[in-house]
Amino acid sequence: MALRAKKVLAVEIDEKLRDLHKETLDIDNVKVIYGDFLDLDLKKLTDDEFGGESFKVVANLPYYVTTPIIEKLILAKVNLISITVMVQKEVAKRLAAEPGNKDYGSLSVFINYYTDCLYKFQVPSSVFMPKPNVDSAVVNLVMKKREDLDTDFLFKVVRAAFTTRRKTILNSLSNSKLNYTKEEIKRALELSGIDERRRAETLKLEEFIVLSVNFKSVG
């Protein structure tokens, strides 16, 4: 990676590797930051290290913090071009899932709103030592430019819709913590051109966006 990039900035949580890195990472354009990635101020760090230039993220993510790390990167408001990561295969499927797929959920909608996500390839557990109990996969997420929108409310609606996946969109939203009556929800769905008998897993991102906007006009 150091041969291809102008500068490589790595984050390592294990302080025990510091001495090893001193012996093996004698490369001018590589710098290692030691600490918990989730505690870092990404805006300050990337401004200091990259001087405001755009950058890409490439990583093998710890499975237990995959989603928090990806969400932090996406929401950090930094000059990020893309994220290429190896994650647990099941998570990769959720990240890249399309409407109508059993893996499609609120995380899929979130990822689709902010990025173009491509499931690249599977990495079998047999290539690791020691061998883990799960397979992995590599995904590539290219950042999108998005219009100004109340994303907090949008994803509140999305999460509410997926609370009970097997119910209709009307019943899911009616039984959620959204502060709308059933009649107001019906009206918002009608204004959005969404059949109240559909399930959340069939709705495209654009339909969720329209629905969130129309909720503002009925409440």
Cα 28 → chain centroid: 32
Q: Indicate the length of the chain as a whole number.
A: 219
Query: What would the two tokens of residue 201 be?
Result: 């897993």
**CA-CA distance, 119 to 140, in Å (whole number)?**
7
Alpha helices, DSSP H only, in 16-133? 18-24, 42-50, 66-75, 89-96, 106-114
59 in Cβ contact with 85 (< 8 Å): yes
151 in Cβ contact with 113 (< 8 Å): yes
15 annotated as a binding-site residue: no
DSSP 171-192: HHHHTSS-S--HHHHHHHHHHT
179 annotated as a binding-site residue: no
Amino acid type, 137: A
27 in Cβ contact with 2 (< 8 Å): yes
12 annotated as a binding-site residue: yes
Question: Which residues contribute to the annotated binding site?
Answer: 1, 12, 36, 60
Question: Which residues contribute to the annotated binding site for S-adenosyl-L-methionine?
Answer: 1, 12, 36, 60
